[in-house]
Structure 1
Amino acid sequence: MTGKDIIKVTLNLVIVYLIGGFILAFVYANASPRVFKNNEETEKKALKELVPDADANEKHEWSIHDKHAKYFIMKKSGETIGYVIQSFGKGYSSYINTFIATDKDFKVQKINILGHGETPGLGDEIETDWFKNQFKDKSIDHLKVIKGDTREDIQAISGATISSRAVTEDAVKNGVAFLIKTVKEGGNTDVKQQQH
């Protein structure tokens, strides 16, 4: 192969990479607003499912495990009726993205698992109604995982204790603790707080 052939091949590769880059940039520029809009719609739907009586909310930010998250002060006719906080728990094979709804007294009313990469058939049991329904009316003192039967606390999923703890003691408990500290105790609701 001569020097001329090497230059020709190199120029052809550069042209192919430039064209590919422009195509990817074009696709991203056109898809990005749609993805953003879809994420907003998903968020609105999740908030409506968690606190159906709310007619408005105030959106704020915080962070946990170096992940940006949100929390919402849920209102009806201008009065606060509860809170929803997005939180993350470090599971067996992923961070578990969770939305937690509480009442005005910071008792959990409902949780929704937004995303995770836990083991199918074990850790993914965190999405079952049986597991999620245990959180109803739990205060922060009862957000702990118990192996075996319990009505006061949260019963671990058999074979998936790490995933159970990630949701309960990491995502939900840390999220509720943040709300209590920030909202109830008068912290600045716009400060991004780091939780570990």
Structure 2
Amino acid sequence: MQRILKKVRCFNPEILKTAANLTVACLISGCVIALVYFITEPLTEKNRVKYVQDAMQSLIPDASSFSPIKNHANWYKAVRGNKITGYIMRVKTMGYGGKIMILAAADTNGRMLDYSILEHNETPGLGDRADKQNFRRQFRGKAIDQLVVVKIHDPDKIDALSGATITSNAVTYGIRTELEKLISYLQTNKEDK
């Protein structure tokens, strides 16, 4: 028992002081980080929305506005005057590096116009080439049955990116799947065509 009391008496008050200082520093740092987050989050969201709108406009430049399609939160009609000029679909797919977010544009007949990758974690120099013009160009004007990745060149299909077949397949599969849903929707909803 005396041994325990000796250890307690040897307790250094500097340790308690240091622990208290570190706790206060952590609390202040946490509050500052939270404050910065709450101040910048609305601006970040505003910039994110503008980025998506600019990407939509670049995919269908002749559209004067984009309106959401009822019951399809990730689809938009591209409109000029009273005429629908195309459709934009948000596509989520899984690539080699994880989630890939894409905006894909189709004409009123369900053919691909173009796409833009909004976010990805693909390998630099390999999978990230899926957002370059050389790869994107292959999708333009393609019908749904032509959205197939091949390793040997075929002008009617999509050539895989060398060293990034998983990314090529992911982008193509994601776009094809969403395009199939859009075509099915348009066949049953003629007023949106």
Task: Give the structure-1-normalised TM-score.
Answer: 0.82
Deviation at 1:185, TM superposition (A): 2.7
1:52 aligns with 2:52: no
Equivalent pairs counted in the alignment come to 181
Kindly tell me: are residues 184 and 9 of structure 1, through their superposed partners in 2, closer, same or farther at Cα, counting changes over 3 Å? Answer: farther
2:7 is matched with none
Secondary structure of 1:57's counterpart equals strand
1:21 is matched with 30
2:125 to 121, 127, 141: 121
Higher helix proportion (structure 1 or 2):
2
Task: Give the superposed CA RMSD.
Answer: 2.3
Q: Give me the whole-angstrom Cα distance separating, in 2, the residues matched to 1:14 and 1:140.
A: 59
1:79 to 83, 90, 96: 83
Secondary structure of 2:155's counterpart equals coil
For structure 2, the 5+ residue unaligned runs are: 1-9
- Determine if contact 1:55/1:76 at 8 Å carries over to the other structure: yes
Structure 2 letter corresponding to 1:71: W
Structure 1 letter corresponding to 2:188: E
Q: Give me the whole-angstrom Cα distance separating, in 2, the residues matched to 1:164 and 1:17.
A: 45
Larger RCO (CA under 8 A, 6+ residues apart): 1
Deviation at 1:2, TM superposition (A): 2.3
Deviation at 1:135, TM superposition (A): 0.4
- Determine if contact 1:61/1:70 at 8 Å carries over to the other structure: no
Deviation at 1:4, TM superposition (A): 4.8
Q: Give me the whole-angstrom Cα distance separating, in 1, the residues matched to 2:71 and 2:170.
A: 18
- Determine if contact 1:62/1:70 at 8 Å carries over to the other structure: no
1:112 aligns with 2:121: no
How do residues 82-93 of structure 1 correspond to structure 2 at under 5 angstroms?
82-93=86-97
Q: Give me the whole-angstrom Cα distance separating, in 1, the residues matched to 2:105 and 2:178.
A: 10
For structure 1, the 5+ residue unaligned runs are: 64-68, 190-196
Deviation at 1:35, TM superposition (A): 0.5
- Determine if contact 1:98/1:111 at 8 Å carries over to the other structure: yes
**Rg comparison, structure with higher value:** 2
How do residues 93-108 of structure 1 correspond to structure 2 at under 5 angstroms?
93-108=97-112
Task: Give the structure-2-normalised TM-score.
Answer: 0.84
Alignment deviations for residues 46-93 of structure 1 (CA, whole Å, 9 cap, x no partner): 111011111111125989xxxxx7221111112221101111221112
Q: Which runs of 4+ in 1 moved over 3 A?
A: 3-10, 60-63, 181-184
